[in-house]
């Protein structure tokens, strides 16, 4: 499969899952990227036709995966002619909450006008939100993934009992109101507890010691690591990054937990605000159980959620949308 990805490089971005997905596609397919930060980038192009010819010459890619900015607050696609591209085409939907409510029909019209063959959703909820609509058959759920060169078992000593590094722990967040409350509970306990202020967003955060492999090493140094799904119950990237860093994932249950393979007591531990302290106290008394759950979670991450797994899922899901055969 020949794939053209249009969009700036996310290699220096705080969230490593976006570039990880591209890393998997580049490793398994003839995938070429065009955008700021990539070698082939040229800032003066105006159309997708120009980009295709620049990157693939007389060949045509099988798939164009483009950056898209929903037009209620921006201009839509960065380049003109997406709807006229002769190959299969689609884009990734991340912040789906921006396309619900009053923007739902506008988004449906936007997708149809773009003549997209598929829309990849990083979260499962849009498949329900747009069920029965004119774009329901175009949606593909591909969760965030991790790069195993960045998130892995570093085999560090378990210096900390519990870690909790996330937006909303030290500084309260309306999206994750539960995190600050849990953080206050944990601060009062006699724990070797790892927490820190959020490093911020954008490329500047990439130099922070708790970003990327530094974040993974911090997770790996904790016997248990906490995350939460927030008010929307999103199965965000940190779920998979904690598993991949081989710490016992202590989390509330996100939407589609079964679909992504999370099983309470087997490869992660489900908690609520009411019982989080009880769960932590239990596993501090039974560290061998915590380590066994962490090991099974690690295997789940490697088996199903690395960037290479996600690239294979992309191939399997997108080919039928394009009417192509393996």
**What pLDDT digit, counting tens, does each position of 17-62 carry?**
999 999 999 999 999 999 999 998 999 999 999 999 999 999 999 9
Q: Above 80 in pLDDT, residue 95?
A: yes
Q: Is residue 152 a part of any domain in this protein? A: no
∠ CA 233-238-239 to the nearest 5 degrees? 65
**179 and 214 share a domain?**
yes
Q: Measured between alpha carbons, how far is 64 from 91 in angstroms, rounded to an integer?
A: 8
**253 and 271 share a domain?**
yes
**What pLDDT digit, counting tens, does each position of 272-289 carry?**
999 999 999 999 999 999
Contacts of 78 (CB under 8 A, 6+ apart): 6, 66, 67, 69
Q: Is residue 52 a part of any domain in this protein? A: yes
**119 and 208 share a domain?**
no
Burial class (CB in 10 A: 0-12, 13-18, 19+), 319: middle
User: Which string of DSSP letters, residue by residue, matches 18-50?
Assistant: HHHHHHHHHHHSEEEEESTTSTT--TT--BHHH
Instruction: Count the neighbouring beta carbons within 10 Å of the beta carbon of residue 211.
Output: 21
Share of the chain above pLDDT 70, in %: 98
**124 and 169 share a domain?**
no
Burial class (CB in 10 A: 0-12, 13-18, 19+), 173: middle
Average pLDDT over residues 91-112: 94
**201 and 136 share a domain?**
no
Q: How many domains does the chain have?
A: 2
Q: Measured between alpha carbons, how far is 193 from 159 in angstroms, rounded to an integer?
A: 9
**111 and 79 share a domain?**
yes
**What pLDDT digit, counting tens, does each position of 287-312 carry?**
999 999 999 999 999 999 999 999 99
Q: Are strands 118-121 and 88-93 parallel, antiparallel or unpaired?
A: parallel
Q: Is residue 240 a part of any domain in this protein? A: yes
Distance (Å) of CA 141 to CA 96, 115, 176: 12, 19, 23
**87 and 139 share a domain?**
yes
Place of tokens 């979260």: 123
Instruction: Determine which of 94-98, 117-121, 199-203, 217-221 has the lowest per-residue pLDDT on average.
Output: 199-203
**141 and 9 share a domain?**
yes
Q: Is residue 155 a part of any domain in this protein? A: no
Q: The CATH number of the domain where 250 resides is what?
A: 3.40.50.2000
**199 and 68 share a domain?**
no
pTM listed for this prediction: 0.96
Q: Residue 71: give the domain boundaries.
A: 2-145+307-322
Q: The CATH number of the domain where 131 resides is what?
A: 3.40.50.11010
Q: Is residue 43 a part of any domain in this protein? A: yes
Q: Measured between alpha carbons, how far is 128 from 232 in angstroms, rounded to an integer?
A: 13
Do you know the residue count of the chain? 326
């Amino acid at each position: 499969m020949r794939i053209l990805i249009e969009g700036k490089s996310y290699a220096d971005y705080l969230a490593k899952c976006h570039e990880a997905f591209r890393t998997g596609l580049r490793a398994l397919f003839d995938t070429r990227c065009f955008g700021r930060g990539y070698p082939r980038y040229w800032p003066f192009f105006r159309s997708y036709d120009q980009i295709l010819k620049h990157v693939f010459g007389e060949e045509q890619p099988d798939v164009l995966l483009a950056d898209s900015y929903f037009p209620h607050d921006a201009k839509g696609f960065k380049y003109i002619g997406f709807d006229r591209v002769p190959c299969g085409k689609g884009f990734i939907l991340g912040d789906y909450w921006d396309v619900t409510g009053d923007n739902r029909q506008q988004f449906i019209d936007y997708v149809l006008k773009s003549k997209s063959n598929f829309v990849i959703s990083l979260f499962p909820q849009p498949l329900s939100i747009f069920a029965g609509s004119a774009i329901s058959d175009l949606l593909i759920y591909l969760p965030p993934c991790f790069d195993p060169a960045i998130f892995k078992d570093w085999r560090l000593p378990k210096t900390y009992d519990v870690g909790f590094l996330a937006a909303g722990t030290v500084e309260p967040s309306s999206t994750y109101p539960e995190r600050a409350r849990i953080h206050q509970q944990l601060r009062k306990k006699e724990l070797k507890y790892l927490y820190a202020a959020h490093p911020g967003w954008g490329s500047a955060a990439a130099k922070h010691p708790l970003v990327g492999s530094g974040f993974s090493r911090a997770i790996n140094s904790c016997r248990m690591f906490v995350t939460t799904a927030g008010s929307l119950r999103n199965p965000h990237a940190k779920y998979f990054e904690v598993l991949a860093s081989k710490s016992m994932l202590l989390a509330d249950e996100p939407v589609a937990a079964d679909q992504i393979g999370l099983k309470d007591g087997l490869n992660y531990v489900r908690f609520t605000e009411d019982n989080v302290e009880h769960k932590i106290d239990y596993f501090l008394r039974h560290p061998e159980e915590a380590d066994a759950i962490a090991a099974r979670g690690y295997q789940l991450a490697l088996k199903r959620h690395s960037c290479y797994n996600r690239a294979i899922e992309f191939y399997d899901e997108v080919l039928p949308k394009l009417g192509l055969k393996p």
